[in-house]
Amino acid sequence: MTITAPGRLTPVLSDIWDVPRSWKLDTYRDHGGYEGLAKALTMAPAEVVNLVKESGLRGRGGAGFPTGLKWSFLPKPDGGPRYLVVNADESEPGTCKDVPLMLANPHSLIEGMAITSYAIGGHHAFIYLRGEVVHVYRRLLAAVREAREAGLIGTGLGPNGDYDLEITVHAGAGAYICGEETALLDSLEGLRGQPRLKPPFPAVAGLYARPTVVNNVESIASVPGILANGSDWFTSMGTPKSTGHGLFSVSGHVTNPGQFEVPFGITMRELIEMAGGIRDGHRLKFWTPGGSSTPIFTEAELDVPLDYDSVGAAGSMLGTRALMVFDETTSVVRVIARWTDFYQHESCGKCTPCREGTYWMKQVMHRLEAGKGLDSDVDLLLDVAGNIAGRSFCALGDASATPIQSGIKYFRSEFEAGTTTPAWELFPYEASAIFSEAGVR
């Protein structure tokens, strides 16, 4: 594959999405599928880990932690089992890359899981899928069955026939908190999905208290390309500290919303151009670089390179690259109120700051949206959000606080207007609706 600079499409994971029956094993193999696994099985496990380290692949689930480094944290084998768990519980508002990836190209994930399991010395891997996406669940089950029947997973794998691997697809009951890796592990074990106290970390005591690697879908699906093409191929894309290709999900007030697989380091201005620009007759107001849990950006940040370090330096997080675009017809108060509703509903209630704080933020946001806010409400929101951020048991509390903090930072006057005027009068629903039917009252 040719070297691609930031600003251009680089279809790797999405390369076969438009091919007829792209999800079938034969289609995947016709396009080079499972060549990475064949190569990995001729290498020592440590060599596979080092190759992924050299590629600079960072976790695609939001945190951006180096993938190969995470694998190397597992303690030395002690004769007991060790596991790979793929976090497919994609459920944050705006985030929509893993579900289409699993739907259109499930074998990229299956192959990546086989390579990863071999590298870490695991013989049983799990996919923890959000239960509402039944169509994806069925497709993954079919892909695992195809791979097993073709002898790509199962028993007697590799040139020497001495490697065994089983893959289990597990559908959760649908809870955002189970996207937090330790809550996911508890749910997978049949317990209530709530975050665990750390340490110990999953690398030491994860699933069934055994060494466990937890990685995002896109992280694992990116591994076969690295094995097949080499680390130099991967590092030729992206930036020095955020290498490779990634799926950027552009939604909202653009002409052509969709998935754009591009190198890291592209800018939002370039992605909006790829999406056909802001819808006709309107201008950008604000956008999110990584879903509803990341501080919002405005026009001033359109040229910030979309890599982990640059976005962090600009005051937000790249997260899951869920780029939601809002034009000037949109009420910031209404958008953040919906996000706050979500976080309040999905809080597991284990810790006080998140359980109580999200409840009170929801009450205040609804007052402001209805134009019935108190003069003290904006400062109250900042006070409550400040007492959640950094004080909750897991990152859900932080996720609920950051939209409010950044929203007030950029649009305080709009929040203050909520003390006298309802949001739907300042910003009618009809004006911001993309489809006319959605704005009818």
For the stretch 73-107, pLDDT in tens is 999 999 999 999 999 999 999 999 999 999 999 99
Q: What is the dihedral of CA 191, 196, 202, 208, to 10 degrees?
A: -30
- CA 87, 89, 93, 97 torsion: positive or negative? positive
Enumerate the H helices of 127-229 as residue ranges: 134-149, 181-188, 202-205, 217-221, 223-229
Q: Is the pLDDT assigned to residue 220 strictly greater than 70?
A: yes
Alpha carbons 262 and 415: distance in angstroms, whole number: 36
Alpha carbons 294 and 320: distance in angstroms, whole number: 10
Strand partners, 251: 324
Cβ distance 393 to 354 under 8 Å? yes
Given its phi and psi angles, is residue 349 left (phi above 0), alpha (psi -120 to 50 degrees) or beta?
Answer: left
pTM beyond 0.85 = yes
Cβ distance 381 to 414 under 8 Å? no
Looking up tokens 């995002």 gives: 216
| Average pLDDT, rounded, for the chain | 94
- Please tell me the predicted confidence (pLDDT) of residue 303: 97
Determine the average pLDDT of the residues in 269-292: 96
Nearest 5°: phi and psi at 14? -95, 10
In order of their start, the domains of the chain are 25-235 (3.40.50.11540), 245-327 (3.10.20.600), 332-429 (1.20.1440.230)
DSSP E strands: which ranges in 23-136? 83-88, 124-129
Q: Please report which confidence band the pLDDT of residue 441 belongs to, taking 50, 70 and 90 as the band edges.
A: low
Determine the average pLDDT of the residues in 294-301: 96
- Please tell me the predicted confidence (pLDDT) of residue 2: 41
The b/e string for 411-437 (b: 16+ C-beta within 10 A; e otherwise) is beebbbbbbeebbeeebeeeebeeeee
Cβ distance 182 to 196 under 8 Å? yes
- Please tell me the predicted confidence (pLDDT) of residue 63: 84
Determine the average pLDDT of the residues in 426-438: 83
